[in-house]
A and B are shown apart, each in its own frame.
Chain A
Amino acid sequence: MTNQRIDEYAGLHRSVEIGLRLAPTISSAAAVAKAAASYLDRDPDVPVRIAGLSTEGSRVHITLAIGLGSIDEVKVAAPQSRAAVILIQTLVTELSAYDPALVAIPDAASSEAQAAASVMRTMSRPPMPVRELLAVG
């Protein structure tokens, strides 16, 4: 259980994030990142972050953590939570060629999470929304 979740139990902010992994080949990774960015742009209110980056064989694993909203919003199917589901559904449908799949969000200490964090740090000076980050490819 991460510190973040312990904080959530302490009543700070409890939300649900869903991990979605895209697995393009190395040669198509940049194109997929741009395509994903364009879909994320359609609903800028849904919080998305890059939670993991790694490679396995000829595939690049891009793991996005998509926020479904706070616990209360999820429980009552609030508009933002529904928008998040629609966004995930859009990504799964439109990027089906790249085998989108639900995955556990990588632990913050894992190498893929650190690779993602490193990309975020490098590309986010000044802070850059993940949509622009993916668009940069």
Chain B
Amino acid sequence: MTIAAADKAVDDGESIITSTNRLGRKVPNVTVRGIDETEIFGYAPLLDCDRVHWDTVDDFDPRTLLADLPMDAYTRRWSDGQHRVWVPNGRGFEARELIKAWCEAHEVEPVNMRVECNVPFRNLELIPGSLFQELVAATVDWVYPRSYAIRRRIVTDLDLVEDQDVKSMMYLFISDHADRYDAGRIGRNGTLNFTAFIIGKLRTWPQDAARTAYGRTVVGDRVAINKMADRFIANEQRLPSEGELAEAMNTSVTDLRRREQAIHELSGMRNYTSLAVSSNDADRVEQVQVASDADVEDDVADYGRSAALTSAILEAVSRPSGPRTRRSQDPLALAAVYLSFWEGMSRPEVARELDVLPKTVAAALTRVLEQVEQADVS
């Protein structure tokens, strides 16, 4: 079907109100070799399952464990490389424990094993021949030319992805998600056909892809910052300042900067532009100043205390008091104090170092410490 013909088919479709409250028309069913998608999916009826989902440190094929599970179990390879096993509804947690034990027994290291209950699943292997592959290809052919904005976001956000990669990525994305297509699910416009289901999934595709590439936290922060900025622009008709954005997100400016820095630096997201930094600084995101982890108050107090102590010691050795002091400076006392408290020497060691008697060192220290005590350095 050509694009023009497909568009005509859409134009002729049933009029609906979309989820975003726009007037639209239903997208047509995909047909392969004259067989309608309903008929194709009929080969793989929908099952109500629990899904066990995990990753492994090394390569692993979950088909090897299916025979050892005492229940109907299915698996299917997704392009993200994670392992998924579907079991009958209500037996997900039991299956997880069994899989965990199997992995231990076979020296496979499972990572982040989790259970999703009550999910739809189609065993697509039941679809004969290459009908399923052709169905996916036909869906890609229909969706690809109509998803320009989504394709741009994928290329813009992800390093190493170029325009020519997107079509094959879209094929994998649709192929991955086909197993969860629920043709019986009723929305505001009745049931969804496969293309409409995929269009719905594609809306979060760039975000999901970025999450996979860069991590959930970084992308979650980016989405939250964008959402908050959009809301502010809609209300105030201008970009928010850093402070306003931080307040709207119920966080501090430092935390906001830290998150933006993480988005920019850790993810290396292509073309990421800070929303919080003013336009003059927008090209210097990598230089955004973020407060260090140091406790500023303690830090300042530490410097202040050390300086006050030093000042008191210098005062004591510059104007020494006492009946036996003849000069206005007392370098021996300064040396004794310094070697005792900064070089960590004992009094005999200081005495040996300065070539004086220990009692001379003791007297020098006493003179200084008495004056420092009077200076009340705390």
Contacts and interface: CB of A to CB of B under 8 A. Distances in A.
Contacts of B148: none
A7 interface: no
B317 A85 contact: yes
A24 B14 CA distance: 73
A27 to B, nearest CB: 12
Interface stretch (B90-98, B217-225, B300-308): B300-308
Interface in A1-26: 14, 16, 18-20, 23
Interface of A: 14, 16, 18-20, 23, 56-59, 68-69, 71-75, 77, 81-82, 84-86, 88-89, 92-93, 96, 99-104
Interface of B: 292, 294, 299, 303-304, 306-307, 309-311, 313-315, 317-318, 327-332, 334-335, 338-339, 342-344, 353-356
Contacts of B299: 57
Contacts, number: 93
Nearest to A80: B331
Given A77-B331, A84-B331, A99 B306 contact: yes
A109 B353 CA distance: 23
B335 to A, nearest CB: 5
Contacts of A84: 331
B329 A77 contact: yes
B230 to A, nearest CB: 35
A62 B303 CA distance: 14
Contacts of B353: 71
A86 B335 contact: no
A110 to B, nearest CB: 15
B261 to A, nearest CB: 17
